[in-house]
Amino acid sequence: MRISNLLIPTLREIPAEAEIPSHRLMLRAGFIRKLAAGIYSYLPLGLKTLKKVENIIREEMDRAGAQELLMSALLPAEAYQVSGRWDVFGPAMFRLKDRWGRDFCLGPTHEELFTQTVINEVRSYKEYPMTLYQIQTKYRDEARPRFGVMRSREFIMKDAYSFDRDSAGLDESYKKMYDAYCRIFTRLGLDFTIVDADSGAMGGSGSQEFMVKSPVGEDGIAYCNKCSYAANYEKAVCMPSEKPFPEGDFDIEKVQTPNVHTIDELVAFFNAKPHMFAKTILYKADDKYIAAMVRGDREINEVKLKNLIGCTDDLVLAEPHMVREITKADVGFAGPVGLEIEVIADLEVAQMKNFIIGANETGYHFKNANINKDFTPSRIADIRTIESGDACPRCGAPIETAQGIEVGHIFKLGTKYSDSLGLTYLDENGKSQTVIMGCYGIGVTRCLAAAIEQNYDENGIIWPVSIAPYHVIVMPVNAKEDAQMQAAEKIYENLKAAGIDALLDDRSERPGVKFKDADLIGIPVRIVVGKKIGDGIVEYKLRTENVAVEKTIDRAVSDAIEFVKARL
Ligand code: ATP
Ligand code: MG
């Protein structure tokens, strides 16, 4: 493609709304434009990259034996009403009515529709196992759309669903998707980590997420460099750690603590370490209130807590007036003694001795509190968030933590949807059996952003060759010089003839502008045709390297072809 024919509206300014590198660069390099919060258009370069990502995904899904189909994004409400998710999705679902007043939604994910398709179309148990997939636009009215296409309200997902006769079959289908995902993310040039994931209170027997480590990732992941343990924060098993406490058989004692609310203020007031306190936090869980306790130096993991108590909605902090009503004290003085709601304590709380807690009285705390003597939690369980340095639950070595971008998720659904929608089959003996399902998602558009987060520098994007919109950019320093332009055209034609996606920067811009644009849009190989063309010499530079090297024309072309082909 000639750049003079290509819409590449690069921006010199850094768009103010963009907080993270990939978002800034996709806007600056002219890949995407915002239409509304969390809604983007893909301009030509963005679309070209997107198609390459889709093709890699498609090739590997097909190779794994999955069949592609395409469903509507505009979906009638019925299937979601039957499965119960019409309500579960809440405000995250875009809902609309047709002219007859019938309910529709814009599909946030398609488990129900695929299940229904199989109910309608599969005639015999002999057709299982079967895995169906689509690459299609999804809609979620995210509470906080941000970071460009990383978390948007309209995005492209590859969603796949497997259908098996039994759980051994599901294990096999799941493994095939696991292997396909490893190939896909490797080919996309992503450095990824596979973590055990939470499968929610709704059941399901296994779930893993494919995470791209990045400081801008919204998910916490814990991993062990000694064994292969890796899990996201919601799933990571926390081992209680030993800490020193005052030894002795003390009685609980009420202490006046005026104007002391936070752990920091408590630490200063009592001149004690944060681990010598236990925090008591009140939550609203569906229609009741509960209290959760962790050591003062730890954080509660709300997903673990939610799964433990099995509530439907996400937990929310109790409103201040409810804290006052339940504890009879201002916010900041809650404690477990005498509370009439359920108290759930973290495993580590059970190991604490003579510690400090709120007294449920404004301006007071208790010291020398002891579990089972001064209060008895109704449950003791792992409800905290893992931290780096904690013992690995598998081998005991220190855990490391990182932030991750979830690019893919594979999930053993079991019979959740086949039960609710009625997907059964008659086996060889004419007996009715339930179909066992798995579901497998990849955030296609999110992969673009993730690839940039792992591959950029101060000058712009550094695309992995496999998904670069163009592989090689050929650039005459002065497009008005016939010798340079003719040589550049020839190189460009030769590259194209060899199947390389080549760009010809035929604009009569200053060289500085052209160099900047080529770096910004992240083209892996640059061939510059300048004054030495008279001697048949061009400059060859990889986007990943700082210096250009001189090569003969033929050498530059053959090196570029070899470089690209080895990385497709
Ligand atoms: P997240 O935890 O990031 O909200 P999710 O667990 O809700 O994602 P899934 O339902 O598992 O997402 O969807 C499959 C994949 O779709 C995710 O792994 C992610 O890569 C992608 N995805 C989900 N939500 C968005 C979004 N709002 N914008 C872009 N990609 C998304
Ligand atoms: Mg997920």
CA of 285 to the centre of ligand 1 (A): 24
> What average pLDDT does this structure show over 480-505?
97
Ligand nearest to the CA of 199: 2
**What are the CA-CA distances from residue 102 to residues 74, 109, 452, 535 (Å)?**
12, 20, 42, 73
8 A C-beta contact, residue 307 and residue 200: yes
CA of 93 to the centre of ligand 1 (A): 14
Helix, strand, coil % (nearest 5) of the chain? Answer: 30, 30, 40
Q: Which residues contact 195 (CB under 8 A, 6 or more apart)?
A: 208, 209, 211, 221, 222, 223, 230, 231, 232, 235, 404
E strand segments, 415-536: 424-426, 432-434, 436-443, 456-457, 460-461, 472-476, 502-504, 525-529
Closest-lying ligand 1 atom to the alpha carbon of residue 218: 3
Determine the 3-state secondary structure of 277 from DSSP. strand
Q: Please state the separation of Cα 483 from the chain's center in Å.
A: 50
In the chain, the domains with their CATH numbers are 34-198+405-452 (3.30.930.10), 253-381 (3.90.960.10), 468-565 (3.40.50.800)
CA of 157 to the centre of ligand 1 (A): 8
pLDDT at 519: 97
Residue 204 pLDDT greater than 80, yes or no: no
Q: Whose CA is nearest to atom 23 of ligand 1?
A: 443
Q: Which residues contact 553 (CB under 8 A, 6 or more apart)?
A: 487, 490, 491, 536, 537, 538
Residue 288 pLDDT greater than 50, yes or no: yes
Q: Whose CA is nearest to atom 21 of ligand 1?
A: 443
> pLDDT per residue over 332-343, tens digit each?
999 999 999 999
Ligand nearest to the CA of 405: 1
Rounded to 5 degrees, φ, ψ at 109 are -175, 155
Rounded to 5 degrees, φ, ψ at 38 are 70, 15
8 A C-beta contact, residue 110 and residue 134: yes
Q: Whose CA is nearest to atom 11 of ligand 1?
A: 409
pLDDT at 198: 81
> What average pLDDT does this structure show over 393-408?
97
> What average pLDDT does this structure show over 30-50?
97
Residues with CB in 5 Å of ion ligand 2: 409
Rounded to 5 degrees, φ, ψ at 429 are -95, 10
At 264, the pLDDT band (50, 70, 90 cuts) reads confident
Closest-lying ligand 1 atom to the alpha carbon of residue 442: 15
> pLDDT per residue over 123-147, tens digit each?
999 999 999 999 999 999 999 999 9
> pLDDT per residue over 429-480, tens digit each?
999 999 999 999 999 999 999 999 999 999 999 999 999 999 999 999 999 9
Closest-lying ligand 1 atom to the alpha carbon of residue 210: 18
CA of 298 to the centre of ligand 1 (A): 28
How far apart CA 528 and CA 485 sit, in angstroms, is 11
Among residues 533, 525, 535, which one has the least CA distance to residue 566? Answer: 525
Closest-lying ligand 1 atom to the alpha carbon of residue 151: 28
Determine the 3-state secondary structure of 45 from DSSP. helix
- Which of 159, 219, 409, 413, when mutated, tests ligand 1's pocket best, judged by the most ligand atoms within 8 Å of its CB? 409
How far apart CA 451 and CA 524 sit, in angstroms, is 14
How far apart CA 118 and CA 424 sit, in angstroms, is 10
Closest-lying ligand 1 atom to the alpha carbon of residue 109: 10
Tokens of 68: 């592609």
> What average pLDDT does this structure show over 420-431?
96
Angle, alpha carbons 59-62-67 (nearest 5°) = 135
8 A C-beta contact, residue 281 and residue 298: no
CA of 194 to the centre of ligand 2 (A): 13
Any residues with Cβ below 6 Å from ligand 1, and which?
109, 140, 142, 151-152, 155, 157, 406-409, 441, 443, 445-446
CA of 405 to the centre of ligand 1 (A): 10
Ligand nearest to the CA of 219: 1
CA of 466 to the centre of ligand 2 (A): 25
Ligand nearest to the CA of 443: 1
> pLDDT per residue over 148-172, tens digit each?
999 999 999 999 999 999 999 999 9
8 A C-beta contact, residue 337 and residue 369: yes
Q: Whose CA is nearest to atom 25 of ligand 1?
A: 151
CA of 202 to the centre of ligand 2 (A): 14
CA of 443 to the centre of ligand 1 (A): 6
8 A C-beta contact, residue 191 and residue 454: yes
How far apart CA 438 and CA 416 sit, in angstroms, is 10
Q: Which residues contact 292 (CB under 8 A, 6 or more apart)?
A: 280, 281, 283, 300, 305, 343, 344, 345, 346, 383
8 A C-beta contact, residue 387 and residue 395: no
Ligand nearest to the CA of 39: 1
At 200, the pLDDT band (50, 70, 90 cuts) reads low
Ligand nearest to the CA of 152: 1
Q: Which residue has the higher pLDDT, 258 or 250?
A: 250
User: Is the pTM value of this prediction over 0.85?
Assistant: yes
Q: Whose CA is nearest to atom 14 of ligand 1?
A: 441
- Which of 20, 406, 444, when mutated, tests ligand 1's pocket best, judged by the most ligand atoms within 8 Å of its CB? 406
Among residues 101, 209, 306, 485, which one has the least CA distance to residue 317? Answer: 306
Q: Which residues contact 313 (CB under 8 A, 6 or more apart)?
A: 285, 286
Residues in the chain: 568
Q: Whose CA is nearest to atom 29 of ligand 1?
A: 151
At 205, the pLDDT band (50, 70, 90 cuts) reads low
- Which of 50, 89, 112, 157, when mutated, tests ligand 1's pocket best, judged by the most ligand atoms within 8 Å of its CB? 157
Q: Whose CA is nearest to atom 1 of ligand 1?
A: 406
Residue 53 pLDDT greater than 60, yes or no: yes
End-to-end CA distance of the chain: 19
CA of 537 to the centre of ligand 1 (A): 49
User: Residue type at 481?
Assistant: E
How far apart CA 385 and CA 395 sit, in angstroms, is 19
